Chain A
Amino acid sequence: MPLGDCAVYIEFSAALDLEVNSAVQRLATMVHGRALPWIRDVVPALGGLAIHFDPDEPSVHGDAFAAALNVVSECLKEGLPKPGDVLRTIDVPVCYEPEFALDLAEVAAMSKVTVEQAIALHAASDFRVLMIGFAPGHPYIGGLDGKLSVPRRATPRAIVPAGSVAIANDQTVVYPYAISGGWSIIGRTPLQVFDAERQEPSLFAAGDRVRFKPITREEFQKLSK
């Protein structure tokens, strides 16, 4: 499906499917790795990937769409790397204390578990980054334990503090900046999710495995420095 005249979106699934999502990420890595001069950006999303290109680059001979589809089918034919070969694990320290976990008590009550159990369920879930989007470095992370599945909040907060860890449905997010958001906040990480001055600006990449590690207030203060 053309995404205007300078990009194409190749969709593999219209609904969220974790296997498709994982394949999309490996495919995106492969396409990106080809470093073709006419490709400006390769963006893996939940159910497909976008290729942003220069439609007038000479090597695509006026048909960048055909060239993009061709690269994708070549990569698929060649075979995607196995999930295990490219998996990175990101450990994210999270302080679940009440001053950071604005909605944790409410989430625990809705899920009919104690606050301690809710923390344990979040920290024990096996998470994968499904997509980066919404804001620079903002990850949509899937794999939340079904017991903690709560809907989005009826009224979004105008400002969610940077580093807030929040949940909704079966996903969790980490807010890179102080922005508006409608998810339930259950903790905060002292890590900087996106830093343009860093060698790798984004803490997360699509496909990463994520583990949340509970930390104390003191550890949070120490790591914040």
Chain B
Amino acid sequence: MSIRILRPGLLMTVQDLGRHGHQHVGLCPGGAMDPMSLKLANALVKNDVGAAALELTVLGPDLEFERDTLIALVGAEFETSFPINRPVLVAKGSHISISRAARGARGYLAVAGGIAVDPVLGSRSTYLPGEFGGIEGRVLKRGDVIPLAEDSEKLSLERFGALKHKRGNSVRWHVPTITVPDREPIVLHALEGEHFGDFDANMQRAFFDTIWRVTPDSNRMGYRLAGPVLTRSKKDEILSAPTCLGTVQVPANGVPIALMADHQTTGGYPRIAEIASADVPRLAQIAPGGTLHFARCGLDMAAELRKDMRERIEGVLHGISGEYGK
């Protein structure tokens, strides 16, 4: 069972929820840039929420399906030849076409049974800098054949059969996109970083007042933010120290970088801020050229944001499982 890539789109990789427990040897967890959308896509085809799926970036692929396959595309609002944010049964031998994302940056295409590549260090995620995981550790290209579970067709037909409220090869409902912004600039809540106090009052104000623009050289490792140049008042050398998903660091050129899924585990640049963990998936949905600003928050607020995100996701997951007759 497989999917063949007729046209690869911009940056398509295999991703799941990443590999944890290796940061002490310098390997970040990686995984889906927007894990919330990945979870919803998997739930729509009745997979475990952490199953491996295809992560699409800004411009989607054309794909050919060898067998009947139940799929769901969740995340950015791609222009497609099929309805998104809901389960769709694709007939064997047929093609689907996914073009530009009108809103958002990343989409997750889940298939019943998941993408069946071998796990590396407990995950199927592609880690591009290390060239492992996914398919040969690389971006997918034209002609690639993506392996699916052996029982993918059987699972697809069974699961589609179990769905209530069908219409044609899909259903009469869809899930909301939780992380894709309606408008920009988006607001990201940020905690003060360890070196926030090393920036003077004007720089601190500029950080929170500026509408930052995501630069074109942003990628899965980090987002560079164009705006005023930030300079640290203290000049002493900073000892390299651990970083985190969502750390905003300021290199010597003054252009802040927000660390994303494939970030380095340590860094010697001043850390001006830490984006609240619940807001990082929303940043992943901002394409190069998109805008954002930072709102100051504390740990209590960050906890509230996580709770809110968790409740929204659980609500949608509950609704989906109801449609599968439970």
Contacts and interface: CB of A to CB of B under 8 A. Distances in A.
Contact of B276 (A5, A52, A196): A5
Contacts, number: 146
A52 B23 contact: yes
A47 B241 contact: yes
A26 to B, nearest CB: 13
A132 to B, nearest CB: 4
Contact of A131 (B127, B194, B266): B266
A50 B242 contact: yes
Interface band, chain A: 35 or more
A140 interface: yes
Interface stretch (B80-88, B129-137, B153-161, B198-206): B129-137
B143 interface: no
A41 B23 contact: yes
Contacts of A134: 26, 240, 264, 266
A45 interface: yes
B194 A1 contact: yes
Nearest to B271: A3
A15 interface: yes
A7 B24 CA distance: 14
A18 to B, nearest CB: 13
Interface string B228-244: 00000000000111111
Given A4-B247, A7-B242, A50-B242, A43 B277 contact: no
A65 B21 CA distance: 19
Interface in A1-52: 1-7, 9, 11, 13-16, 28, 32, 40-50, 52
Interface band, chain B: 35 or more
Name B's interface SS.
mixed
B191 A2 contact: yes
Name A's interface SS.
loop
Contact of B132 (A7, A49, A196): A196
Contacts of B246: 4
A55 B277 CA distance: 10
A137 interface: yes
B259 to A, nearest CB: 10
Contact of B24 (A4, A14, A41, A56): A41
Interface of B: 20-27, 29, 120-121, 127, 129-133, 191, 194, 239-247, 264-267, 271, 274-277, 299, 302-303, 306-307, 310
